Amino acid sequence: MICTDNPLVMQKVIHSDNVKTAIQARGWTQKELAAQLGVTAQAVTNWMKGTDFPRPDKLLKLATTLKLGFADLVQLPQAAQPVVAFRKKAGAKTTDAHVTKAMAMGALLKGLVPFLPTLPQLRRQVPNPNTDYVALQAVAAQVRATLGLAQGAVLHYEHLLGEFVENGAVVVPVMWGSQQNHKNALHILLPQERVTFILLNLDTYLEDFKFWIAHELAHVFTPDLAGKEEGEDFADAFAGALLFPIELARTVYEKVSGGNKTHESKVLQEFAAEHGISLFSVFSEINRFAKANGLSPLKHEANEVHAIRNAQRGKLVSELLFAPLPPEPSVYVAAAEKQFKSPFFQALRRMVIEQKTGPGYIQQVMDIPMQDATALHKELTR
């Protein structure tokens, strides 16, 4: 048995012809390319022969150095290419480098799929998804009914986790920090395997976390829109409708009608706090309700609502789940399995034991520091 951090070893996955062409266009040798990448010449030779595969950081550097996209670098049929989508931090931009790294993570996650439990084949899909208010409310009402929730009831993110399990999606809770990472969630669909991995950053405010989980669930329900702008638009609109449906929007609109801005702000904040969602989500859903019914919009402007919300943030999900921080690996893995109903670490445990997979693989597919990956590896193999 080969001891490796990479389950794609022994498969010819680097598109060597494209790499050779790019090297020749620059007048380089493979040895000179290796020097540019900070690896040995033998490492490049192994990539070209298909006896090894670069780690995501090296694949990313290879892509940027040779100005090649993931599809040009990795020899996979189009139907087997991972599809990725990001839930970005405010103001963050998704670059080609981000996409290449995420695609590399997806390619590596293919090796984990055989270790997952059997996933359901009959899955919920939204037919003809669009952002029409009435249509969205109908979809949100159906999902709430499936969850056994009244239309005006408070929806907790825990209510939604079973829907991921039922629809072939694997939630992977991660702690990427509140500032240092470009993304708050990463959606990786493996169309050939019919498996979706959703990495969710726990170092985010609860009100935002609930929205992102609902957003990601929309992606699960609309696999044909994964990675497309219309898919992002639908997911945002679906999340708002699910968290604050028409019954609540109507109630709040009636409460604030005829009042001044101070009264409006107070009522919006009360409902946001009661339902544990962003003040901006409440504001947006009420304005969507008003527009759909030909009514006047709220008195506040969007920038005013953002300012109020940003002055009154609560706790991060990681702070609510774990005390003290950071959690011990055993506590973290247990929370992933029990709280988030995730089979990810069970599958990872089987993989590292049966295939002697090292901590480098964990570091790559979770995009975490090697120190954390090593601690997790130790927990999974003890």
Which residues are 169's β-sheet partners? 196
Chain segment 302-328, per-residue pLDDT in tens = 999 999 998 888 889 999 999 999 999
DSSP per residue, 228-261: SHHHHHHHHHHHHHHHS-HHHHHHHHHHHTT--H
- The CA-atom distances, in angstroms, between 121 and each of 47, 189, 214, 239, 342 are 35, 15, 21, 24, 17
More confidently predicted of 353 and 100: 353
- Beta-bridged to residue 185, according to DSSP, are 87, 200
Cα distance between residue 168 and residue 166, in whole Å: 6
Query: Mean pLDDT, the chain, as a whole number?
Result: 89
Q: Is 239 within 8 Å of 215 (Cβ atoms)?
A: yes
Higher pLDDT, 158 or 101: 158
CA distance 255 to 267: 8
Q: What is the DSSP string of 29-88?
A: -HHHHHHHHTS-HHHHHHHHHTS----HHHHHHHHHHHT--HHHHB---GGGS-EEEEEE
Quick: pLDDT tens for 53-107: 887 778 878 888 998 887 788 887 777 788 888 765 555 566 777 888 888 888 8
CA-CA-CA-CA torsion sign (13, 229, 279, 167)? negative
Residues 6-26, mean pLDDT to the nearest whole number: 75
* Cα angle for residues 203, 325, 211 (degrees, 5° grid): 20
Is pLDDT at 7 greater than 50 in this prediction? no
Q: Is 91 helix (H, G, I), strand (E, B) or coil?
A: coil
Quick check: bond before 245 cis, omega within 30?
no
Is pLDDT above 80 for 366? yes
**With bands split at pLDDT 50, 70 and 90, how would you rate the model's confidence at 182?**
low
Q: How far lies 195's CA from each of 69, 76, 117, 347, 382, in Å?
A: 23, 17, 11, 13, 28
The residue behind tokens 């208010």 is 133
Residue that the structure tokens 């699960």 belong to:
220
pLDDT digits (tens, 9 = 90+) for 218-245: 999 998 887 788 998 999 999 999 999 9
pLDDT at residue 317, as a whole number: 95
What amino acid is encoded at 25 in this protein?
A
Contact 151, 243 (CB under 8 A): no
Higher pLDDT, 140 or 77: 140
Q: How long a stretch of residues is the chain?
A: 382
254 vs 123, more confident: 254
Give the sheet arrangement for strand 83-88, strand by strand.
Answer: 83-88, 183-190, 195-201, 169-174
Sort strands 195-201 and 169-174 into parallel, antiparallel or unpaired: parallel
The label of the residue with tokens 């080969």 reads 2
Per-residue pLDDT of 185-221, as tens digits, reads: 899 999 989 999 999 999 999 999 999 999 999 999 9
pLDDT reported for residue 241? 97
User: Is the separation of the CB atoms in 48 and 353 below 8 Å?
Assistant: no
Strands 183-190 and 195-201: antiparallel
Residue 88 is predicted with a pLDDT of 56
pLDDT at residue number 185 = 86
pLDDT above 70 coverage of the chain, percent: 93
Bigger pLDDT: 267 or 64? 267
pLDDT confidence of residue 51: 81
Give the per-residue pLDDT at 326. Answer: 93
At residue 2, the pLDDT reads: 34
What pLDDT is attached to residue 184?
A: 81
pLDDT for 128 beyond 70 = yes
Spatial contact of 309 and 321, defined as CB atoms under 8 Å apart: no
> H-helix or E-strand containing 97?
helix 96-109
Q: Which of 88-97, 137-146, 278-287 has the lowest mean pLDDT?
A: 88-97
